[in-house]
Amino acid sequence: MHHLKTLALTLALGFPLSALAAGIPVKMYKNPNCGCCDRWAKYLETNGFTVETINTPDLVSVKEKHHISANLAGCHTALVGGYVVEGLVPAKYIKHMLADHLPIKGLSLPGMPVGAPGMPGTAAGPLNVYTLGTGLAPKVFATF
């Protein structure tokens, strides 16, 4: 009986650690002066991701490397599971993209609109998430 209790305790204590270790890894390139990226990273971590933050003053070259056009640029560029996540994209859309192995380059929420994850407040209107890698014309992936 005592042995079982110990085992149960070990499992209970071990669970949060293994849950953290199992987080979906995200690498986020951001400007050290931007705060909403950090809030977005925290939000992702409460939604099953583990975020590695890379501060860089030269986000322009990161965006060039991943072919992010100016109209789809957000305040940070993140890499997850071979996809690019540009800006404050909600976690559920990233999970959908990963789970369904969508044949796209990634997702973008351009700019830093109020109401997006990491930007507190109520959105002035519906926010669009765009598909990356579909040529010059932005294609709406989802609206929330």
Residue 121 Cβ vs Cu ion, minimum distance, rounded to whole Å: 14
Size of the site for Cu ion (CB under 5 A): 4
Give the CA radius of gyration of the chain: 18
Q: Is residue 24 helix, strand or coil?
A: strand
41 scored as a contact of Cu ion (CB under 5 A) = no
Quick one: which segment of 16-24, 36-44, 47-55, 130-138 binds Cu ion (CB under 5 A)? 36-44
- Site residues for Cu ion, 69-98, by CB under 5 A, read 75
68-79: burial string, b at 16+ Cβ within 10 Å, e else? beeebbbbbbbb
37 scored as a contact of Cu ion (CB under 5 A) = yes
Write the interaction track for Cu ion spanning residues 95-134; mark x where CB under 5 A is met and - where it is not.
Answer: ----------------------------------------
Quick one: which segment of 9-17, 26-34, 79-87, 95-103 binds Cu ion (CB under 5 A)? 26-34
| Best CA proximity match to 93, nearest among 134, 129, 50 | 129
Tokens of 74: 């957000």
Quick one: which segment of 18-26, 28-36, 52-60, 131-139 binds Cu ion (CB under 5 A)? 28-36
Q: Which of 34, 54, 73, 102 binds Cu ion (CB under 5 A)?
A: 34
Q: Are 114 and 107 in contact (CB under 8 A)?
A: no
Helices (H), the chain: 2-21, 36-45, 59-65, 91-99
Residues that bind Cu ion (CB under 5 A): 34, 36-37, 75
